Structure 1
């Protein structure tokens, strides 16, 4: 490595950091630029790859810092943009040009960042950490201030949140999803309009050149500037869809979208493309920049952002060995906009392909420039509302939209449309002049004497439709029709530019899907929110359990006589390049009987209350792996209420998302509040010993049980309790909470049940208690069939601070156990209750205790049908007589529970005792089983009723 250059760079770096720390940003910037120039010379001369990469990384860091300083300096007067030598530049800036709240936050953030780096370099790590934290906080506040402004612009007449300011959660989501494919995409700020684009040297992306596709690599010649391939480079010569040509990059859906967008802007004179590209002149038109630096304004992951990290897009374009451009370009050879946009959005040319329902958002589609997430580059250009309509069956498109409806929307500029072919053989495709699995742009639509025709373009700019109403169709075209469409079939035959006319019937027959992108300005009332759905420990997808899904209330006030249109758009935030395996959708549930549902089986939700069981929604969303989901419906006259559920099938990843609502009537859209802010989760198991089944089984008492304790609360809110149980999806499960003072229960009567989940349900069930009194209760979790072994998850939620949930030990846990097998025999020992006068002849067992012992006895009759009412009593035994002494324990009244009867735990002193097992009625015969639990070893033997 050149020692002299390295030493010069080090000296300049020290000066830059020193001035940066003092806040002398103009001086610091000058030194940083010198460092960068020296680094670039070192990189050029260095032969050691490892050392070269190290210098490249450092060079990129300094370039990023220069871009940060540009943001600060551009907010001050023109003179201070060149050099600011004040010892207190911030004060001067404030005096000369008052900063906005956002500008001040960014300014403070940059100052803190410089100080943080200085402390970091000096290994004062704690001080540096504190400063870095402060920087992050300032950026978060800046994001919030910026997006609040744009949110207000979009939703000033909508949700009940009157000021529409972002919540802390929304700020966190937008900040987190600023990191995309390893780069940071900062929010678009007004200060970005003052970005510096002019340099003494040609601008070059410090991240290097973008990736090429395999075909490009095979033919690659060089990276060139526009000035090297044309004498008069211009950003825009003429906005035209016919001039856009797709080259060897496999991004037909993207190019088709650009074609539609260009056609729209040209036809309706509304800026789409021209408003997104910077730098711009005083008329707001994008300009060619001789320095080679451009910036594209996008909406990405829910907010307007810049296509850059801390750097912009350069204009280096790939050409083949024969000098031909190998990217999307314009047939107007001086025009650059298509090439620059493709490079900015793709993030590389090794593009796997997407669909134009997504990419049409990518093209600056729709009156407001906001939204496109591309499957590969994961960036958004325009804000559109996507509808994908399958055309496999003609009647479907007629039923869903009707050709007159959506063709009219094209004519008036309400929608932008692309169409796509499906799979077909090469022979089938060549026969009609189409390309399999290919996207086409719909440029125009006409209706002449009841005949519906579409003007379509192949983004390749060659290979045209050869069927009905093509340039080869001599019989369908009439002079009147050609005049109406300003079309000359014969002249069209001489030039294959990929543009053709096709009738609606042929579209339905040969194309697989239509992607319609709606203008949000059709809707007077709009609202946007951002949220995050973290990965949970739920055992099941949301076709079983909706308890973890984000849910929202939607109330529509429609004062019109006719129904009003409602569009809901869910957009997934994407941060990494990978196959999108997240299948998402939206479900809509009725909260009113008059909400337009024609199916009496639809689930009627309680407005403002969370939905736990999927049931049958008013609108059942279809799970697809597109990052954009659109649900549309009509709300009837009056006030109607709905619950909107965000759904993710087989949830394996967290989901950050934006939800937008568009409506032609006033509405409110709000997240359903958390009724149970405190949750406790317990992972448990049904084992061979605890899988007791439902209450009709003798083993029901063995099921896992939990004591939930509700303390007294000073909160005026009513104490509430939620219990949710998830088990294997093929297990029918049930949960109940019983009045039992938190003790284990063996059987439960109706009067003992505080709440339960109802019928056994596969995989998931829940129950709620709206006003629970302080105290201890018992939760029982069970499967319908006994012996089903598997894991379960118990979730207990409440609004009471300090509530607790603990497992209740199994009956007799930690005690010695003896099993007594006995039998009632008619005429010998089946003597019934004391009312029959021979109670003492019932089966009796002698118990000899030599020390203080706690015992518990359970009696069961598994083989006697019907189950008899039984009882256990324990008496002291007289030493010299056969009479029973004092009664010391009992199972209570005679009952015929399946699980039998049981005594309480009783502590008995050393003595002899007699245990008597009896039935209520005399002459009941059959075998019985008694379980004797004791905390010390005991001896027990049959007395034979003597």
Structure 2
């Protein structure tokens, strides 16, 4: 029987690859103190070695393998005998080695995180009470001495919060731990496109994940292809099937990255600029930091088991994306995904697959490079539209200054990409396409950008292109190291373009800023439920999420602050209708605001996942109110707000001030649109009874405070006020009656607020400035105590109404309140049964006026006074006067109603209403001439 040596060799090679991986992984886990993981990897190595020994014919190799296996068996026995204290000290020593490595590479953020984790490990070791602590004390002293080197690094030392060292407290939460609400928000938004992408575990690059398997790993989630991709698709293949010696990284280079049929040019452009950055600053890991598994030096490597984990930032936090290495292969015998032109190199394909899994599949419709760079690197995204507001000169200076000349200090660096819109004259550009900016130069007043098309072909054909033989002088080509002859013969998609042409042909510029330029970063995760507040963006900001930002700038120079709002997205292919923004108010002392007065920094509403607002904080302590705003809310909004600051900063959500809120929908109609208090119809406006009960023994001890807010059509100037009353409809109004009111008539929205409201019944009046304005409004009543609000019907609603038209005539019946008072306009009121009525004069001239009701005696003489309208109405309040409800029994004579002015011989007219619960008869009393002559 013949032996198939080729198959045996292939099988043996695969086993050796697996053995090498298990051995490498075992040593790595052993070095960092992950004892259980190390033991498992050593035993996995032993199992694979047993299979190798059955196939290997070379006796020398077999003997070496047996020796290595014995060595690892001894190590497994040692590991099993380690105490918890021993394990923790191994972990701490490994962290210290990592600190040294990252410190040398100036990876400041990683250094700080490593210090935090090391201190947490040492605190746990301190809780182990069975060992001599001298070694531990010396170790901790060494850590704190090294921590002194971190002063001035771009992150606050306060981030080095550690767990409690008290015995039994090793499971306590770190001081900087997320709140329960924040953690719930992040967990809820881990489900993206129906798949779970959990938060990255705490600590720098800490990943308790199995990467080695007896059989190659297969991800259960197969990425969907588009229709166009399916037409070219042949099969899913692993790197080992299409490459001789696969490597994850050979050389990080932007020029080697090539996009194929996947429509993710923005992400590929992001890969290009990130690779260019890492190549230029070799000690700054940007691409390599996000891929796992890694060796003990922190470098990712090819995994023959085919499993990778990629760390991507999405929905407010770094997330774990697990993939296998199956890649789409075409019928033409080529990879369909983005790939590296460096032979056997995998990293562009692997990172792209992780990103596309997060985005829903290879059928991804596209994004923008600012968003993608943030997902990939965490660098702060800023989008600048090239529109009528575009500041060309300022923008050029910002772009040029974002490329630091000192390669040893790249913290001020920004990664830049540019994007086209719809083009009529393309000049070699691709419409709605993203490009990577690899370099920016200013030479002899020429402003030029080196740009790459992610396709790695198809270039700009305008000024300074490979076709331009006029602008490219020998001096300029030497300065930029450009060979126009070579460029004419090789289309690699890389070209120079002048900034003027960028401004003419491109749609937007994306700048992603290095977060390490900022010393302090504070983060809040929050939610804006759809049932809180109104769904349309209005002038009322009371129910918008608001935050107090405090900056403590101790320097004499302005301190730079970046605010980044990132909304959480769980279905990436959904049409994005969430137009969001951030507003910054600098004159509020960080307190809650209600009215949308012009903000200090007004954000533009865009449907991007990220909104960035930049400003400089002055010297001293400054507090700002940060408001999240959204147009036409159709669903709840979860979001993350980050503050990046040069100076110490704190960010806290402004709590809800009122626990009890009621929304009241109303209308101004033809009958109730009474206008402002200078109109006689003012008291026809909608009125509401507001009642606060006296506190009980179970009631909160806080003094009642009340907030009134009125929203309506933006073209209506409106006012809301609360009146001292018994909760009845206001019949007359004086200044002393007003308990609280909004600050003048304001278009679209107004509010008023008052503390220490005494229990009782009050009346709320809502009005527009102009009478007769018909429209809907929303009245919001809020308080820290329970209350009741009910609508008060119009005066006389449901009652009989009689109208009296009268006048005062000088020398005839204008008698005032002095002599011959009874000769003022008088009316005989006849009732047949017990009747309740009210008298009102809404229209009168002149003022002040008065109403009195008397019992009638024979010959129309006045008997006992029954009721009156109270004080005389004063100038400035022309709504007239009104009596309280009057209960009158029936009698034979009836009653007399007298209307009078304060002064005698004042001519004028009046209109009076008589409201009654029974039908009554009213007749004018005509006095005899001889009476008038008296």
TM-score (norm 1): 0.75
Query: Partners in 1 of 2:655 and 2:81 — Cα distance?
Result: 43
The question of 1:674 aligning with 2:656 is answered: yes
Of residues 592, 600, 611, the one that matches 1:610 is 592
Query: Partners in 2 of 1:929 and 1:394 — Cα distance?
Result: 59
Of residues 270, 277, 286, the one that matches 1:257 is 270
Query: Partners in 2 of 1:614 and 1:233 — Cα distance?
Result: 59
* 1:185 Cα offset (Å): 1.9
Partner of 2:292: 278
Partner of 1:422: 421
Of residues 304, 313, 337, the one that matches 1:299 is 313
* Conserved? CA contact 2:717–2:768, under 8 Å: yes
* Conserved? CA contact 1:742–1:777, under 8 Å: yes
- Name whichever of 254-263 and 495-504 sits farther off: 495-504
* Conserved? CA contact 2:549–2:590, under 8 Å: no
Q: How does 1:71-470 map to 2 (within 5 A)?
A: 78=40, 157=158, 163-189=175-201, 193-207=207-221, 209-269=222-282, 270-307=284-321, 312-346=322-356, 347-361=360-374, 372=375, 381-391=376-386, 396-400=391-395, 402=397, 404-408=400-404, 413=410, 414-425=413-424, 428-430=425-427, 433-448=428-443, 451-470=446-465
TM-score (norm 2): 0.76
Partner of 2:890: 910
* Conserved? CA contact 2:667–2:776, under 8 Å: yes
* Conserved? CA contact 1:542–1:614, under 8 Å: no
Query: Partners in 2 of 1:749 and 1:401 — Cα distance?
Result: 62
The question of 1:640 aligning with 2:639 is answered: no
Q: How does 1:545-944 map to 2 (within 5 A)?
A: 545-577=540-572, 578-591=574-587, 606-713=588-695, 717-799=702-784, 801-814=785-798, 816-824=799-807, 826=809, 830-840=813-823, 842-850=825-833, 852-861=834-843, 866-878=845-857, 880-895=858-873, 897-911=877-891, 912-924=894-906, 928-944=910-926
* 1:701 Cα offset (Å): 1.4
* Conserved? CA contact 2:185–2:525, under 8 Å: yes
CA deviation string 1:466-495 (max 9, x = no partner): 334333334444555444444433233332
Q: Relative to 1, partners in 2 of residues 1:772 and 1:841: Cα closer, same or farther, differing over 3 Å? A: closer
* 1:178 Cα offset (Å): 1.8
* 1:711 Cα offset (Å): 4.1
Other structure's SS at 2:249 match: coil
Partner of 1:68: none
Other structure's SS at 1:755 match: strand
Query: Partners in 2 of 1:750 and 1:562 — Cα distance?
Result: 50
Query: Partners in 2 of 1:579 and 1:409 — Cα distance?
Result: 42
Stretches of structure 2 lacking an aligned partner (at least 5 in a row): 1-33, 45-79, 89-119, 125-152, 162-172, 929-934
- Name whichever of 929-938 and 314-323 sits farther off: 929-938
* Conserved? CA contact 1:158–1:526, under 8 Å: no
Q: How does 1:492-511 map to 2 (within 5 A)?
A: 492-511=487-506
* 1:247 Cα offset (Å): 0.7
Other structure's SS at 1:194 match: coil
Query: Partners in 2 of 1:707 and 1:468 — Cα distance?
Result: 74
* 1:243 Cα offset (Å): 0.9
* 1:440 Cα offset (Å): 0.9
* 1:324 Cα offset (Å): 1.9
Equivalences, count: 771
Partner of 1:28: none
* Conserved? CA contact 2:817–2:903, under 8 Å: no
Q: Relative to 1, partners in 2 of residues 1:390 and 1:934: Cα closer, same or farther, differing over 3 Å? A: closer
Q: Relative to 1, partners in 2 of residues 1:619 and 1:76: Cα closer, same or farther, differing over 3 Å? A: same
* 1:715 Cα offset (Å): 5.2
Query: Partners in 1 of 2:904 and 2:693 — Cα distance?
Result: 48
Q: Relative to 1, partners in 2 of residues 1:885 and 1:248: Cα closer, same or farther, differing over 3 Å? A: same
* 1:199 Cα offset (Å): 3.0
* 1:509 Cα offset (Å): 4.0
* Conserved? CA contact 1:843–1:945, under 8 Å: no
Look at both structures and tell me which one has the larger radius of gyration over its CA atoms: 2
Partner of 2:31: none
Query: Partners in 1 of 2:561 and 2:460 — Cα distance?
Result: 36
* Conserved? CA contact 1:73–1:81, under 8 Å: no
* Conserved? CA contact 1:718–1:770, under 8 Å: yes
Other structure's SS at 1:299 match: strand
* 1:394 Cα offset (Å): 11
* 1:80 Cα offset (Å): 13
Query: Partners in 2 of 1:479 and 1:385 — Cα distance?
Result: 39
Q: Relative to 1, partners in 2 of residues 1:190 and 1:725: Cα closer, same or farther, differing over 3 Å? A: closer
Q: Relative to 1, partners in 2 of residues 1:339 and 1:253: Cα closer, same or farther, differing over 3 Å? A: same
CA deviation string 1:337-357 (max 9, x = no partner): 211222221231222222212
Query: Partners in 2 of 1:854 and 1:785 — Cα distance?
Result: 34
Query: Partners in 2 of 1:405 and 1:394 — Cα distance?
Result: 21
* 1:288 Cα offset (Å): 2.4
Other structure's SS at 1:193 match: coil
Query: Partners in 2 of 1:194 and 1:685 — Cα distance?
Result: 62
Q: Relative to 1, partners in 2 of residues 1:797 and 1:96: Cα closer, same or farther, differing over 3 Å? A: farther
* 1:423 Cα offset (Å): 2.7
* Conserved? CA contact 2:291–2:311, under 8 Å: yes
CA deviation string 1:263-311 (max 9, x = no partner): 111221222221212222232222323333222112211112112xxxx
Other structure's SS at 1:429 match: coil
Other structure's SS at 2:252 match: coil
Partner of 1:126: none
CA deviation string 1:31-71 (max 9, x = no partner): xxxxxxxxxxxxxxxxxxxxxxxxxxxxxxxxxxxxxxxxx
* 1:607 Cα offset (Å): 0.7
Query: Partners in 2 of 1:393 and 1:899 — Cα distance?
Result: 52
Q: Relative to 1, partners in 2 of residues 1:834 and 1:194: Cα closer, same or farther, differing over 3 Å? A: closer
* 1:452 Cα offset (Å): 4.3
* 1:95 Cα offset (Å): 11
Other structure's SS at 1:698 match: coil
* Conserved? CA contact 1:73–1:80, under 8 Å: no
